[in-house]
Structure 1
Amino acid sequence: MTNKLKNNAELICIIPAAGKSSRYNKLNKIFESLEDDEENGLDVLNASILNINTLGVVKKIYIGYDDTSKESCNFKEVISNTNNDIDENISSEEKLAIGLFKKISFVKGGNSRQETVYKCLQHIKNFKSDNDNTWVLVHDAARPCVFPFENLEFINKTIESDTSSIMAIPISDTIKKVDEESKISYTLPRENLWLAQTPQMFKFNILYESLKHCSENNIAVTDDSQALEVLGHKCIVHMGKPYNNKITYQSDLSYAKCIYEHMYKSLYEDEGD
C-alpha cells in the first residue's frame, strides 16, 4: 500500500488498550485469539495493530496499556525485547515484524478510554511540540474487523476535507428508550442517527485541546468525537461497515472470528504470495 498522504500530512495512531473488559466476563478480550489455534493464533489486539500498520502511512503507533495487567505487561515486554535483540540472519517476515514493532510505543493508560487517549496525546506533545500538520487516528483495540484499504480511503477523505471525521453507520433498527424497570418509555426517531465506530481521525491540536478541556472540567465522553462536540469543533461522518464491530461480549468474538477466517486470512495470504 501507499506510504504517502495527501498534503504531506503526518499520521500517528493511538490504540487505547487499557480497558478491563468488565462486560466481557472472561479474560481480557483483546488477547483472545481470532484463530482456532488459541495459543499461537493472531489475537484481537495484534490484528488491530496489523490492520493499521498495513496501511503504510502511519508513522508511529502509540498503545495505551494497562500497567496492572499481566497480559498487557507481557505484550509490552515481548515488543520491547524484540526491538533490543535483532539478529541479522532473520527471515524477511521477521524483519517486517521488527519494522512494525519499532513503530510501537507504550503509554500507561488511565481509568477510562478518554483518559488513556489523553495520556497518549500528552506523551506525544512532550516529545514533539510542533503538531500543526499532524493527524491522529484513534482506533479501538477491540475492533479488528475493518479492511486496511477501507481505513486508507477514510484517511484520505478526511485529509481532503481537512475536517475531523469518524467512521459510522446509519441506524436501521428501531430504538427504544427504556426505564429502570425495562419498561419502554418511548421510541426515538432514527432519522439522522448513526452508530459511531473507529477509526476516528482528528488534527492533533484540536483533539488535544478538546480532551484537555474535558479533563480539566470533569466532562466524561464515551468517544473522542464527543470531546470535539463539547467545544463546538466540526466533525463529520464517513460511511463505515456493519462488520466493523467492537468486541464487547463473548458472542462478538465468534462473529469476528468468522470475518477473520473468511476475509482477512485471504487478504494477508494474497499479499504474502
Structure 2
Amino acid sequence: MSDIWAVVPAAGSGSRMAQSQSKQYLPLYGRSLLDWSVAALLDYAGLRGCVVALPEGDLGREHSAVLSDPRVQLCAGGASRADSVAAGLGALPARDEDWVLVHDAARPCLGQAQLEALIETVTASGVGGLLATPVTDTLKRGSAEGRVTDTLDRDSIWSAQTPQMFQVGDLRTALHQAAHRNLKVTDEASAMEAAGFPVQLVRGAGSNLKVTYAPDMQLAAFWLKTLYPQLTDSAGKPS
C-alpha cells in the first residue's frame, strides 16, 4: 500500500508583500502563515510525514510547535520553488510509488474537506492532480503597452491551487527533466505536464487563497476564523 507524504517549499522571500520579514513567517492568530499551512496537512490522519524546505540560514533558528512536530523534517531549500521541492523530495524517506502532497507555505486556509477530496480522487484513480477552481472573471490578454489584444475563452480555464499530489518517483523525474531542459515551472503540475504525465483537476475552494500581497492577510484572517473558530478565538485578535 502506498504511503502519503507532504513537501512544503518555504525558502522564498515573498518580496511582493513589501514586509521586513519573509512572507511565510508573517503572523496571524498566533501562528505564522507557514505554521497554518503545515498544520492543515498534519491534521490529515493518514499523512506519514512532511518535509519543509526553508532558507538554509533559518534551519538553526528556534522553531514553532508545528515545525517541531515529530512528523516534520526540515531541509534547506533552493533558489527556486522547483529546487526547494526537489530538495524536499530528496529528504523524504519515501518510495517511488508513494504519493506526495506539495503545498504552498503561504496558503494557510486549506480546508480538510478539500484536502480529503484531493487525496480520495487521486488515490482512487491513480492519476495525479491538483486542487483548482474554475475562473469566473472575463480574461483579457494585454500587450506590452497595456492595451487589450484579445479576450480569452474562460470556459476551460482553471486557477491552480495547492496541494498538488503526485507519485514521488514521477514527480522526481518530471522536475529533473524540467531542470535538464531549463524549463521554467511555476508549479508541480506544469513539470508533470511537460514530462507527459496526465494531470487531473480536483475542484477546490475560493477560501484556499495564496497570500501574495499585503491586503490578502485580511482575507486570510477571515477564512481562518471561519475554518478554525476555536483556534482563532483562543488566540484573540490577528497579529
> Scaled by the length of structure 1, what TM-score is found?
0.80
Q: Distance in 1 between matches of 2:136 and 2:79?
A: 33
Instruction: Pick from 16, 26, 33 the counterpart of residue 44 of structure 1.
Output: 33
Equivalent position of 1:261 in the other structure: 225
Within the candidate set 84, 91, 98, 1:134 is matched to: 98
- What is the match of residue 2 of structure 2? 9
Which residue pairs with 2:236 in the alignment?
Answer: none
How many residue pairs match? The answer is: 233
- Distance (whole Å) between structure 1 residues aligned to residue 103 and residue 62 of structure 2: 22
User: Given residue 12 of structure 1, which amino acid in structure 2 is its aligned partner?
Assistant: W
Deviations along 1:72-125, one digit per CA (max 9) or x if unpaired, are: 34xx5434xx9xxxxxxxxxxxxxx5896111111111111111101222233x
1:39-97, Cα deviation, whole Å (9 max, x unpaired): xx1121111111110111111110011124xxx34xx5434xx9xxxxxxxxxxxxxx5
Task: Specify which of 18, 28, 32 is matched with residue 25 of structure 1.
Answer: 18
Q: What is aligned with 1:117?
A: 85
Larger radius of gyration: 1
Match of 1:243 among 207, 211, 215: 207
Q: Secondary structure at the match of 1:15?
A: strand
Q: Which whole-Å CA distance do the structure 1 matches of 2:232 and 2:26 have between them?
A: 20
Separation (CA, whole Å) in 1 of partners of 2:132 and 2:31: 26
Give the conservation status (yes or no) of the 8 Å contact 1:176–1:186: yes
Q: Amino acid of the residue matched to residue 150 of structure 2? A: Y
Q: Which has the higher helix share?
A: 1
The ranges of structure 1 where at least 4 consecutive aligned residues each deviate by more than 2 angstroms after the TM superposition are 76-79, 97-100, 265-269
Instruction: Normalising by structure 2, report the TM-score.
Output: 0.91
One-letter code of the match for 1:241? A
Give the deviation of 1:220 after TM superposition. Answer: 1.0
**Is there any run of 5+ residues in structure 1 with no aligned partner, and where?**
1-7, 36-40, 83-96
State how far apart, in whole Å, the 2-side matches of 1:186 and 1:207 are: 35
User: Is the Cα–Cα contact under 8 Å of residues 15 and 141 in structure 1 kept in the other structure?
Assistant: yes
Q: Aligned pair in 2 of structure 1 residues 147, 268: CA closer, same or farther (>3 Å)? A: farther
**1:67 aligned to 2:61?**
no
Distance in 2 (CA, whole Å) between partners of 1:211 and 1:167 is 19
- 8 Å contact from structure 1 (residues 53, 100) kept in 2: no
State how 1:166-205 maps to structure 2 within 5 Å.
166-205=130-169
Matched to 1:144, the amino acid is P
Percent identical: 29
Q: Distance in 2 between matches of 1:61 and 1:119?
A: 13
* Counterpart contact for 1:55–1:149, Cα < 8 Å: no
